Amino acid sequence: MPIKTIITKGKVPVKIYTDDIEAEAYQQLLNMSQMPFIHSHIAVMPDVHCGKGATVGSVMPTVGAIIPAAVGVDIGCGMKALRLSIKAHDLPDNLRSLRLLIEAAIPVGFNQHKHDPVKQSTVTGLSVGLHKILGKHPKINTMQKKPYQTWVRQLGTLGGGNHFIELCLDENDDVWVMLHSGSRGIGNVIGEYFINLAKKDMGQHIVNLPDKDLAYFKEGAKHYDDYLEAVSWAQDYAMVNRREMMNLICDALKKKLPKFGITKEAIHCHHNYVAREQHFDASVWVARKGAISAKAGELGIIPGSMGAKSYIVRGLGNPMSFCSSSHGAGRVMSRGKAKRHFTIDDMESQTHGVECRKDSGVIDEIPGAYKDIDIVMEHQSDLVEMVHTLKQVLDEAANAEKSAAA
């Protein structure tokens, strides 16, 4: 489906792949379109909703400057999915024991492993880049308790908020493992630090911004290269986190399931990140906040909410979206409102047939708090084609009540 809404009141157009957009998000996009260094236009995905400074679901190409809030604080947040060599009939009738095994293997929320979970060579490789960043910005190291131990032992952990681990079945009854997580506590503090540093660096000029959270670093300025170095490191950390978590999940599943292998069909993608790309005859920084890359032929993951369908997709390389698509269904209700509006009975009915927690700690992730994933997919038929349709049978969600999306 083509672009449905265009905002033309700013310095560049905002091209939106839906007409279902809340007033707050619309105003944020109008604010973003006032920035003087955006190349061509801003593209907005059909799962669009309000964020901090920059709207979730936005794709912003910039020349000569970069906005940390256009990436956000969960730097490198994204998805990983593996298709296993087993079928639905190989799963036990009752999946509770599998869910408990996954819970035991993967810490959630602010929790971490009790011992270093990854190879020392992995830690050493990440340490080199982080120490270089901390040498120039030591304050980052004061923003967490036991910072070194925390970032090392949070590798292979889920986090909080809307992060999850799922077992799914596709249209052929093949079993998939899918997970959603990011750069954990260390990515969060790096994101917060540089958002605030951009505000500080802009000084009195920040009053000229439509929103102070759109503070930016100009190319050649003191901290421009530092931010790019730090965001790149956090994106790498997030990739390693998902890789290590997937390894731990598969090890846990092997205790209960028949012997299985991993097929060649494996997908790993960021949806909160920045990358150097070529669009409309210019080399630009593309900040995707709640959007995935959808280059022609590129595989991606678009999850629905708990109990809803998810999709493995292939990008169509649409230039107007900067070769992007949505990262999920998108919220229609805040976490607080969802907790006030829905009950545990609602949770049980909306996640019928899925082995998952159905208590007050996860009500804010109820399917009713999200957009209909099928409508979202319909609105981006010009951006991606569906390869597999996945249906959750087991969901391990983070506890949003006792943890934040670190």
- Partners of 355 in beta bridges: 394
> How far is Cα 99 from Cα 131, in angstroms, rounded to an integer?
37
- Partners of 383 in beta bridges: none
First to last CA, the chain: 35
3-class DSSP state of 388: strand
Catalytic pick from 327, 352, 379, 388?
327
Question: Which residues are annotated as part of the binding site for Mn(2+)?
Answer: 74, 163, 180, 271
Let me know if 327 is a catalytic residue. yes
> How far is Cα 59 from Cα 56, in angstroms, rounded to an integer?
9
> How far is Cα 399 from Cα 233, in angstroms, rounded to an integer?
27
Q: Tell me, letter by letter, the H, E, C secondary structure of 351-373.
A: CCCCEECCCHHHHHHCHHHECCH
Question: Which residues are annotated as part of the binding site?
Answer: 74, 162-166, 180, 271-272, 303-306, 310, 327-330
Q: Strand ranges (DSSP E) for 67-209?
A: 78-87, 164-169, 174-181
Beta-sheet pairing, 164-169 with 5-7:
unpaired
Contact indicator for 186, 205 with CB cutoff of 8 Å: no
Question: Which residues are annotated as part of the binding site for GMP?
Answer: 162-166, 271-272, 303-306, 310, 327-330
> What positions carry a catalytic annotation?
327
